[in-house]
Structure 1
Amino acid sequence: MSVPVPHPRHQIRAAHTDTTVTVYQAYTPSIGLPAARDGRFPATWKRDRMTWIKPSFLWMAYRCGWGLKEGQETVLAVDITREGFEWALRHACLSHYVRGFHPDRATWRRELRSSPARVQWDPERDLHLRPLSYRSLQLGLAGEASRRYADEWTVGIRDVTPLFREVHGLVREGRAEDAADLLPEERPYPADDGLLGRLVARGSRTPGP
């Protein structure tokens, strides 16, 4: 019998191709439906605000309550270029201060003010939305990164709310195996220490959700 290979504590897992990465966001229908229809974010989408993208289907399910939380009823799968995704990672800093990783709080605050992107590692979730022992990436985009995400990096937007609701329904019926068969294949993203070295405080405790 094969023994499951444990996940690294900090690892980017995503549905990705040679050119794109799929990330998830949830919005009100007034934003999400036009975005999916037109394949781009509408004018009402605020390009000057921080926006968080999530490569994990199940972490998105946890965050939006399977698309049932108010203001998050429309769940989008956004395909962005790998070049854009990696640009954001290279220009990101950690969203929280870690003693022993940052020289001091003042240095971390300066990084936070000057970085157009930030990274947070939150516990990954299972089909019942229970926390797992390893972490899932959240990538926050602001300023230049937010504008590039909306206007340059995004190559496709799909409304995946029906899929979220179907998976949720199967889980509620006790059919977790059937639900698991519907999940997107999220493979480790090829990110070495050159890309993630500044974004993983190894041996430290990162905050939960």
Structure 2
Amino acid sequence: MPAAYEIRADFDFQSIVIYQAYSEQIASAAIKNQTFEAPFSFTRMTWIKPSFLWLMERSNWAQKSGQEHILAIRIRRAAWEKALQEGVLTSPEKRVYPDGQIWYELFEQAKVHIQWDPERNLRGQKLEYNSIQVGISRYLIEEFVEEWILEIKDYTPLAKKIHTLCKAGKYEQAKRFLPSEKQYVLSDELKKQIGAS
């Protein structure tokens, strides 16, 4: 079983895939132009997630309003590492911050927010280990849009195919279509900073 706080992702030497869910208007333009443009918001935090199944839980398999389209966004691995290095957890976890005031001061200044949430399986059940989601603040969003993105793919048909199989009880068949995710190894320093196992 994976460690309690471990990043698992589809990545290679230079890049990593993160997932987001958007409306038709935002997603169609992003796929066509291979970047984001209005009405994508450049003024509020955008959350990126390397776990496909966690986003399926969050978007209810692309059925929630405004989250009907699933994007697989390949970004530069160096940018991902930068985001983690800039990150501060969304709560004062004692395993990371010895003092709540220290956390508060860091959090108030943070350009990136980091949160760990229980990973999900194909049935939507919570698992005993967590997945990471990373919030990119307005101070970094333009950089995210203009410099980090290498490729944007439409994974909506894939999400719907897997969900249809799950609804039919064909979980083993559905599992074969899941994007491949493996452990993303971090330095000891970065593990400590973001509360990874």
- Bin for the TM-score computed over the shorter chain: over 0.9
Following TM superposition, by how much is the alpha carbon of 1:47 offset from its aligned partner in structure 2, in angstroms?
Answer: 1.8
Which residue of the partner structure matches residue 21 of structure 1?
Answer: 16
Whether 1:45 and 2:33 are equivalent positions in the alignment is no
Q: 2:180 aligns to what SS in structure 1?
A: coil
Counterparts of 2:127 and 2:119, CA distance in 1? 5
* Uncovered stretches (5+) of structure 1, i.e. residues with no partner: 1-5, 203-209
Which residue of the partner structure matches residue 163 of structure 2?
Answer: 168
Counterparts of 1:163 and 1:100, CA distance in 2? 38
Contact 1:48 1:147 in 2 (8 A): no
Q: Which runs of 4+ in 1 moved over 3 A?
A: none
Q: TM-score, normalised by structure 1?
A: 0.90
Contact 1:47 1:150 in 2 (8 A): no
Following TM superposition, by how much is the alpha carbon of 1:195 offset from its aligned partner in structure 2, in angstroms?
Answer: 1.9
Which residue of the partner structure matches residue 174 of structure 2?
Answer: 179
Q: In structure 2, do the counterparts of structure 1 residues 7 and 100 end up closer, same or farther at CA, with 3 Å as the change threshold?
A: closer
State the aligned residue count: 197
2:92 pairs with 89, 97, 115, which one?
97
Which residue of the partner structure matches residue 190 of structure 2?
Answer: 195
2:63 pairs with 68, 76, 94, which one?
68
Which residue of the partner structure matches residue 111 of structure 1?
Answer: 106
Following TM superposition, by how much is the alpha carbon of 1:44 offset from its aligned partner in structure 2, in angstroms?
Answer: 2.2
Following TM superposition, by how much is the alpha carbon of 1:105 offset from its aligned partner in structure 2, in angstroms?
Answer: 2.7
Q: TM-score, normalised by structure 2?
A: 0.95
Q: 2:75 aligns to what SS in structure 1?
A: strand
Following TM superposition, by how much is the alpha carbon of 1:110 offset from its aligned partner in structure 2, in angstroms?
Answer: 1.2
